[in-house]
Structure 1
Amino acid sequence: MALYAMTILTFMDSTDCYAQNAKTDSLSILLKSHPQQDDRRAELLLNLANESMKLTPEQALKYPDEVLSFQHSIKDKKNVSAAHRNRAAIMMYLSRHSEALESYSQGLAVDKAINHEVGIAAGLANIGLVYMTQAKFAEALKYFLPALKMQEKLKNEINVGIMLVNTGIVYTEMGNYDQAMKNYEKALPIFRKYKHNGGQSHVLGNIAILHKKNKNLYEAVKYSKLALQIADSVSDLRTSARENGNLSGYYSELRQPDLALNYGSKAIVLNEKINNKKSLGFNFQNFSDAYFQKHDYLKAKFYALNALKIAREVDVLDLQRDASLGLSEVYTALNMPDSAFSYYKKYKEFGDSISNDQKKNEITRMGLKYEFDKTEAVYREKQILAEGQLKQQQLQLALNRAELQRGLQQRDLQKALLDNEKLSSGEKQKQLLISKNNEKLQASKLNALSQEQKLSKLEIRQLWLYGILAIVSLASLLIYILNLNRIRRLKFTNILERQQAEQNTLKLEHQYQLSESELSAIRSQMNPHFIFNVLNSIESYIMDSDKRTASRLIQKFASLSRLILENSTRSLVAADKEWKALQLYTELEAMRYDSSFTYSFDHADISLNTILLPPMLIQPLIENAILHGIVSSAVTDAHIAVNMRRSDQTIVITVHDNGIGLNAKISKTVINAIKEKSIGLKSIRERIRLINLQYHGSASFTVEEGPDHKGTLAVISLPLLGVDSIEIY
């Protein structure tokens, strides 16, 4: 199978294209109106070259040649280097590689002379493209790696993506498939980000070639068709020709000659249209392989000879090798051993030459990789050193700023001290003035005092009289206020004591009702009938000499009695103790009724020792389920399920049996009457009412039919009370 793997991406810098979206006819009109040989005419000629080089490269060649003819009159030398690159690109389309290399080198020299970094990066990349097109991959890598570095420095993402693709092609041809795939995977998101259709189609096509080299032909077909779809959508003739040719090769290797001929014929038409001889040679070789598979040896020979002819013209060794092998196989099939042997010898010669070139390329690639890594390390060391120097400068600047700030603070402090001294001096003067005024005041007071002493003897008796009257009045007023305040306190204390007495009365009444309810629950739980039956069962096991079962029954009955007595002393108990008492009770009843029913307890990963439950509230529901739901029915798989789950700030406990249910053979009214009189239900409702009074209506109790009208479902909802959240009485 013949593939042309060099799916190359070309690019130009900003000086290469001016108004690329303008039409050729409008540019021609502008060119006629501007005959002066200056920068403006050069720009128009370069735009015309860009518009027409892909469709009519030979006609487009006149435009860059005209620019170069008056290059000495051009002020902006970027237009001169762009003209050299345009001319080289046209030569690449015409497969005139030596002339393309010469033009790219001339453009690079101009860009270096004017230190035009964008142009230098483009020139290096394009020279690498020429070498890659000639299968001189080691030489191509010498130019691609520094071009990639420059594009990364210039932060031109599109050109970085292009360089990643072209470098990936070189790695592919040199056998480094992992590095090639890494390059393609980096480039594809860049082209998708900028909706660069050409870049996407080239990357997808090259990924297809990688899959082909890894013998994964179906993946190769998949990615090649994606590339072809994008190329056809934007009328990219070169890419369409390439992918049609590659698909022809893939299907030929998959032994599907009809599909190979279908895609190959499209590729031939397109390559003849754009005059791409090298690709045309690969197309002919794919045609030869397809006809050989169809046993049409004459057509296979015809296309193989044409492929070999083109391979010699464009000097492509791998195509000459494949064409020679194809002709050897064709002549063997035509029973012409001499010709077959002759072409087989040529095949071996070309194969040995390619193998030697590959070895040289690998040695050169390793050397280039070493130099590249060494340059990369030096660059990183310089970058780290520059960052260190920058940090040192920033630190010195911060120290200078701190020193300046400290100087300003010292200046402000000195100013404050000076102001303080001025204030102190003013304060001393004020104190001195006050002292003098005080002396004068004392003298005047002495004079006034001598006069007052004379008057005081006359007024002393009057003052005593007024003083005694004032004291009597104040004492009377104070006594009145104190009495008034005492009366008010007594009234307030009386009101508080009356309210407290009422609250205590309500609390005692509530406690009495709760105690009566709990006592009723104890009576219902430990009713004599249950105790009598358990003791009868124990006696029966003893009489039957089943001492082990009798012992177990006594132990469980003793444990249940102890738990009930312990729990009966409190209004709330730890849930693990209450849960254990319920399990013991159910187990005793199951043993008493000869295991006529099964049971299950599930608390849904609730930590029972951290919550509180009212004691002896759930047991009557289990007893009702056993006595009224299961024992009185003929259910063979009788089962009682007791579940506990948490819902927000409540604990929901359900008791479900699959017994006769609420809608048994007798009427619902009678059943409800029996259930209403069932053991403990009235006590449960009373306790729920009291719990709601105490915890503001957060408890509920319902009895209803079970799911699917099977049995009875009793549901109790209680407030979530933690062990640390409430005092247990």
Structure 2
Amino acid sequence: MKVVFRFLWIIVLILIVISKGGTMVYAQQTKVDSLEKAVRANPSNNDQKARDLFFLAVSFISSNPQKSLVYIDQALSIENNIKGKGIVASSYRVKGAILNILARFPEAINALNKALFIDKAMGNSYGIAGDLSNLATIYIYQSNFPQALNYYQQATKILEQIPESDPISYKDRKRDEAAIYGNIGLVYIEIGDYAKAIEHFEKAISLHEKLKNNMGIIPSLGNIGNLYNRQKNYQKAIFYAAKSAKLADSLGDKVSFARETGNMASYYSQMGQYDLSLNYSLKAIALNKVLGNTKSMGYNMQNAAAGYEKKGDLAQAKLYGLGALKIGQDLKIPEIQRDASEGLSKLYEKLKLPDSALFYYKNYAMFKDSVDNSKKRDEIARLGIQYEFDKKEATYQQQQSLADEQMKQQRLQLALNAEQLNASLRLRSLQQVQLQNEKLQKEEKQKLLLISINSGKLQSVKVKQLSQQQKLDKLELKQLWLYAILIVLVLSSVLLFLYNKYRIRQLRFKNTLEQQQAAQLNSELSYQNQLSESELKAIRSQMNPHFIFNVLNSIESYIMDNDKKVASRLIQKFAALSRLILENSTKSMVTADREWKAIKLYTELEAMRYDNAFSYTFKVDDTLELKEFLLPPMLIQPLIENAILHGLIESLQTDAHLAVALDIKADHICISVKDNGVGYQKNTKPLLPKGIKEKSIGLKSILERVEMINKQNNGFKASFNIRVGENDRGTIAIICLPIIKVE
């Protein structure tokens, strides 16, 4: 019995980037009815409408994920009209979180990668951290724990490096940091390192309590319960699970409430209280079915299967066990497939079906090896060591940067002191000049003699000024040339940017086209595989071991009675029938005459085997040439077999008769198989010889092949139906197929 313990926080970072230079957060949660009214009253597909739809989706993410997905898809439908790319990135991020809850993992990864691409282009560190955290939760669901831990560590680094001056509030950052700590703890639970898990859970709980974030405390309580469960302290595990469920119910968190309900079912089962376990399991299945959480339903159905098995209701246990296995296969979750295979192996052993028990035990062993792969644990340990090393190295770099900054400040202080010294020297020089001027004024009369000399010097100065003006004009001309060159470079850069943008669009278009072609090829391969499986079922239906065994027994009986002539006829007909079946089985379509011959041989063998206990007729439309059109091989024989074994042989009447007819219509042909036996709805106890099957043969295979024929043909739709014969006697089975001519 396994516990559904992945109590993942949904990290929905609702940062909306308005422009490259500024951000804003929708700080106030508007009432749902007000938002819906605002959306209806807004006829324009603008940013405000996208915001309202976004917050409507966030309002329902934990209570009604399906409804939340509808709102977020409406917001993204007007993506091309939204100016604020931060709104688009946040919408893709929320869509990824919703699809993760609904176990639609490939779609969730695609949405989160789109958000990551936009956030990286905008340089939005907070958004990038949210994208990586949501991607990590998906990888936990898929048991890819090394990749999950890697993404969580990257997200933590990014949040720690966001400066305090960033517009994102301290409370928002701490809230998301707490959620990441909790999710890293889940990874350590998975590998059995409980000490590390407790360390991270305590960090998460402490932050959530400081922030008064009760929604974050819900999974914290559930995780503590799971730790007690791992230590086999089931009473405490149930206590914390119930406490978490109660808090989730009070806050309207339906997803967490359903999860904890399923966990309590597992805890009670391990305590041996199977009635309580089964009650909680069925309740969790109903809750998760409403929420669309298929993955959790897989775990809940396995718990229910175990509960029914302990109570002795093996039929219900088998039903829920197979349901859990199918969910695990559809979602490709190895843990569900492992647990379901283990439960089915034990169940079939109780049912005394050793072959089935061995088959599911082999499946269990295969998936157990996959889940317990030691390489994942080594990779997680390596990532943890690398994370601690990187954290220490970042601290050292910060300290080194601080020391370098202090050194720069000291150098600046020295330069400032030198400048102050130079200013003092310049002041002293100025004082000396003033004294000199005073002396010159006293000697003014003496300087009059030097006027003529000074006039000559003045003329020289003017000439120098004229020369400097010419040099200045030349410098301005050079500046004009420089500006022209800069303008040419800017224009060239713009043109190069536009050209690169065009190339990127062309590459994206080519990539989209290749993806569509790959999807189409995958669809064709899937169809071919279904067709091959259906034809193989048909071969098994015709050449079933009972039929071969009975024919060989009949041949042996005639030989022992020295009726060599009849024995020889039986051998010849059986050999001809075997050859026709094997030849026809290599083709998807055969000519009608070969198929008609095969079913006639089969009917003759059955009549001889039952000592002509019934008569038969084969009628073909006179206007029909059997060699001119094609039929799917091995399609009619199961109806003849059912008519003989379940109708004519059981009736014990002297006028038992089988009628097979082939009629042609305007655009299709119909093959009818009629018998006047007991009828397929009669509930009589069969009086069949030993070795005769009691269940209908090949009808499911016929329905599958009719469905595939309809997928392949766009014209007349093939059909198959069974009804009671005339006068409430016997059975009439009719198959109608489109006419396919031989080319």
Deviation of residue 252 (structure 1)? Answer: 0.7
- The alpha-carbon deviation at position 185 of structure 1 amounts to 0.8
The answer as to 2:71 corresponding to 1:63 is yes
* Distance (whole Å) between structure 1 residues aligned to residue 68 and residue 248 of structure 2: 23
2:271 is the alignment partner of 1:257: no
Question: What is the aligned residue count?
Answer: 413
Equivalent residue for 1:99, pick from 93, 96, 107: 107
Deviation at 1:242, TM superposition (A): 0.9
Mark the runs of 5 or more structure 2 residues left unpaired by the alignment. Answer: 17-24, 163-169, 428-743
Aligned to 2:4: 4
Give the Cα–Cα distance (whole angstroms) in 1 for the partners of residues 278 and 332 of structure 2.
25
Report the CA distance shift for 1:405/1:260 in structure 2 as closer, same or farther (over 3 A): farther
* 2:321 corresponding residue in structure 1: 304
**Pick aligned residue for 1:347 from 357, 364, 374:** 364
Q: Describe the shift of the 1:300–1:20 C-alpha distance in structure 2 as closer, same or farther (beyond 3 A).
A: farther
Give the C-alpha shift of residue 405 in structure 1.
9.8
2-structure distance, mates of 1:401, 1:263: 77
Whether contact under 8 Å (2:92, 2:111) holds in the other structure is: yes
Percent identity of equivalent pairs: 35
Distance 1:88 1:235 in 2: 21
What secondary structure does 1:8 align onto?
Answer: coil
For 2:159 and 2:242, the matched residues in 1 are separated by: 30
Q: Structure 1's 208 and 255: CA in aligned 2 closer, same or farther, altered over 3 A? A: same
Tell me the CA shift for residue 118 of structure 1: 1.1
Maintained 8 Å contact 2:218/2:247: yes
Q: Distance in 2 between matches of 1:53 and 1:223?
A: 24
**1:163–1:411 CA distance, 2 compared to 1 (3 A):** same
- What is the identity, as a one-letter code, of the residue corresponding to 2:8? I
The Cα offsets for residues 112-136 of structure 1, whole Å up to 9 and x where unpaired, read as 0010111111111111111112121
Q: Is the 8 Å Cα contact of residues 19 and 47 (structure 1) preserved in structure 2?
A: no
Structure-2 residue corresponding to 1:271:
288
Alignment map for 1:37-76 (pairs within 5 Å):
37-76=45-84
Q: Which residue of 2 aligns with 1:190?
A: 207
Say if 1:2 and 1:319, in contact at 8 Å, map to a contact too: no
CA contact (8 A) 2:103 2:293 kept: yes
Equivalent in 373, 376, 387 of residue 402 of structure 2: 387
Call closer, same or farther: CA 1:68–1:240 in 2, change over 3 Å: closer
- Out of 111, 123, 128, the position equivalent to 2:131 is 123
State which of 320, 329, 333 in structure 1 corresponds to 2:337: 320
Q: What amino acid maps onto 1:150 in structure 2?
A: I
Structure 1 residue 290 corresponds to structure 2 residue 307: yes
Alignment deviations for residues 529-552 of structure 1 (CA, whole Å, 9 cap, x no partner)? xxxxxxxxxxxxxxxxxxxxxxxx
**How many angstroms does 1:283 deviate by?**
0.9
CA contact (8 A) 1:54 1:93 kept: no
Partner of 1:367: 382
Deviation at 1:399, TM superposition (A): 6.2
Contact 2:268–2:276 (CA under 8 A) maintained in structure 1: yes
CA 382–242 in structure 1, closer or farther in 2 if over 3 Å, else same:
same
Instruction: Note if 1:84 corresponds to 2:92.
Output: yes
Secondary structure, in 3 states, of the residue corresponding to 1:230?
A: helix
Report the CA distance shift for 1:34/1:150 in structure 2 as closer, same or farther (over 3 A): same
In the other structure, the counterpart of 2:40 is: 32
Deviation, structure 1 residue 377? 3.3
Equivalents in 1 of 2:186, 2:399: separation in Å? 32
Task: Provide the rounded CA distance (Å) in 2 between the counterparts of 1:386 and 1:51.
Answer: 44
Matched residue, 2:355: 338
* Higher gyration radius (CA): 1
Q: Secondary structure at the match of 1:61?
A: helix
CA RMSD of aligned residues (A): 2.9
CA distance in structure 1 between the aligned counterparts of 2:315 and 2:38, rounded to whole angstroms: 55
How far the C-alpha of 1:232 sits from its partner, in A, is 1.9
Report the alpha carbon displacement of residue 199 of structure 1 after superposing the two structures with TM: 0.9
Alpha-carbon separation, structure 1, partners of 2:349 and 2:112: 46
CA distance in 2, matches of 1:370, 1:198: 31
Does structure 1 conserve the Cα–Cα contact (< 8 Å) formed by 2:63 and 2:253? no
Shift of 1:398: 6.3
TM-score, normalized by length of structure 1?
0.53
Structure 1 residue 54, shift from structure 2 partner? 3.8
1:339 maps to a residue whose letter is S
The equivalent of 1:172 in structure 2 is 189
CA distance in 1, matches of 2:65, 2:244: 24
Once the two structures are superposed, what CA deviation does each residue of 1:391-418 show, in whole Å capped at 9, x if it has no partner? 3345456667888999999999xxxxxx
Shift of 1:317: 1.0
Contact map agreement 2:143 2:371 (CA 8 A) in 1? no
Q: Hey, what's the Cα distance between the residues in 2 that align with 1:217 and 1:398?
A: 68
Deviations 1:303-361 (A, max 9, x none): 21221122112211111111111112122223332322222222112212223xx3231
C-alpha separation between the residues in 2 aligned to 1:162 and 1:84? 19
Tell me which of 144, 154, 161 is aligned to 2:152.
144
Rounded to whole Å, the distance in 2 between the matches of 1:60 and 1:201 is 21
Please give the alpha-carbon distance, in whole angstroms, between the structure 2 residues aligned to 1:99 and 1:203: 28
| Other structure's SS at 2:239 match | helix
| Counterpart for residue 15 of structure 1 | 15
CA distance in structure 1 between the aligned counterparts of 2:417 and 2:204, rounded to whole angstroms: 48
> How many angstroms apart in 2 are the aligned matches of 1:189 and 1:366?
25
Report the Cα distance in structure 1 between the residues aligned to 2:33 and 2:412, rounded to whole angstroms: 61
Contact 1:87 1:100 in 2 (8 A): yes
Matches within 5 A, 1:645-724: none
- Name the counterpart of 1:159: 176
| Alpha-carbon separation, structure 1, partners of 2:396 and 2:336 | 45
Shift of 1:96: 0.7
Task: Kindly provide the CA deviation profile for residues 578-605 of structure 1, in whole angstroms up to 9, marking residues without a partner as x.
Answer: xxxxxxxxxxxxxxxxxxxxxxxxxxxx
Distance 1:273 1:69, change over 3 A: closer
Provide the rounded CA distance (Å) in 2 between the counterparts of 1:342 and 1:106.
Answer: 42
For residues 291 and 136 of structure 2, the distance between their equivalents in structure 1, rounded to whole angstroms, comes to 22
Relative to structure 1, the CA distance from residue 223 to residue 152 in structure 2 (aligned partners, 3 Å threshold; closer, same or farther) is farther
Q: 2: CA distance between counterparts of 1:55 and 1:223?
A: 21
Name the aligned partner's letter for residue 83 of structure 1. Answer: S
Alignment of 1:133-532 (within 5 A): 133-154=141-162, 155=170, 156-355=173-372, 358-396=373-411
Q: 2:125–2:159: 8 Å Cα contact kept in structure 1?
A: no
Q: Distance in 1 between matches of 2:320 and 2:104?
A: 24
Query: What is the CA-CA distance between 1:23 and the residue it aligns to?
Result: 3.2
Q: 1:242 to 1:367 in 2, by over 3 A?
A: same
Counterparts in 2 of 1:220 and 1:398: CA distance versus 1, 3 Å = farther
- Quote the Cα distance in structure 1 between the aligned partners of 2:301 and 2:79: 43
Amino acid at match of 2:91: A
Q: Which amino acid aligns with 1:34?
A: N
Q: With the length of structure 2 as denominator, give the TM-score of the two structures.
A: 0.52
* CA separation of 1:405 and 1:102: change in aligned 2, threshold 3 A: same
Gapped runs of 5+ residues in structure 1? 413-729
Provide the rounded CA distance (Å) in 1 between the counterparts of 2:267 and 2:395: 44
The one-letter code of the counterpart of 2:347 is: V
Give me the whole-angstrom Cα distance separating, in 1, the residues matched to 2:336 and 2:412.
66
- Post-superposition offset of 1:52: 3.3
- How far apart, in 2, do the equivalents of 1:201 and 1:32 lie? 34
Contact 1:144 1:167 (8 Å CA) reproduced: yes
AA aligned to 2:147 is E
Aligned to 1:573: none
- For residues 90-117 of structure 1, the C-alpha deviation after alignment (integer angstroms, 9 at most, x for no partner) is 2123211100000000101100001011
Contact kept, 8 Å, 1:20 with 1:50, in 2: the verdict is: no
Partners of 1:365 and 1:252 lie apart in 2 by 31
Letter in 1 for 2:75: V
